[in-house]
Amino acid sequence: MMVFGLFEPHVLLTFLGAGIVLNLTPGADVAFTMASGLKGGKRSGIAAAIGITTGSLLHTVLAAFGLAAVLISYPIAFDAIRYLGAAYLLYLAWQAWTQTGSQSKSEGASSMRQAIAQGFLTNILNPKVALFILAFLPQFTNPQNGPVWLQMLILGGLFSSTGIIVTIAYGLLAGTLSDKLHSYQRPFNKITALIFGGLAARLAWQ
Question: What pLDDT does 41 receive?
Answer: 86
Q: What percent of the chain is predicted at pLDDT more than 90?
A: 32
The Cα–Cα gap between 197 and 88 comes to: 10
Arithmetic mean of pLDDT, 159-187: 84
The Cα–Cα gap between 17 and 152 comes to: 16
pLDDT in tens, 87-138: 998 988 888 888 765 544 434 444 788 889 999 999 999 888 888 898 899 8
Question: What pLDDT does 100 receive?
Answer: 62
Q: Give the 3-state secondary structure of residue 25.
A: coil
Residue 72: pLDDT over 90: no
Residue 50: pLDDT over 90: yes
Residue 161: pLDDT over 50: yes
Question: What pLDDT does 142 receive?
Answer: 87
Which one, of 9, 50, 14, 3, lies nearest residue 165 by Cα? 50
Q: How distant is the alpha carbon of residue 81 from its chain centre?
A: 16
Residue 39: pLDDT over 50: yes
Question: What pLDDT does 183 receive?
Answer: 59
Residue 140: pLDDT over 70: yes
Arithmetic mean of pLDDT, 73-84: 85
Q: How far apart are the first and last CA of the chain?
A: 43
Question: What pLDDT does 181 receive?
Answer: 64
The Cα–Cα gap between 199 and 51 comes to: 17
Where on the phi/psi map is residue 198: left (φ > 0), alpha (ψ -120 to 50), or beta? alpha
Task: Give 201's pLDDT tier (boundaries 50, 70, 90).
Answer: confident
The Cα–Cα gap between 118 and 189 comes to: 16
**Range list of H helices, the chain:** 9-24, 28-40, 42-64, 67-73, 75-98, 105-124, 127-136, 148-180, 185-205
Question: What pLDDT does 169 receive?
Answer: 94
The Cα–Cα gap between 168 and 151 comes to: 26
Strand-pairing partners, residue 7, are 3
Give the total residue count for the chain.
Answer: 206
What mean pLDDT, rounded, does the chain reach?
84
pTM of the complete model: 0.81
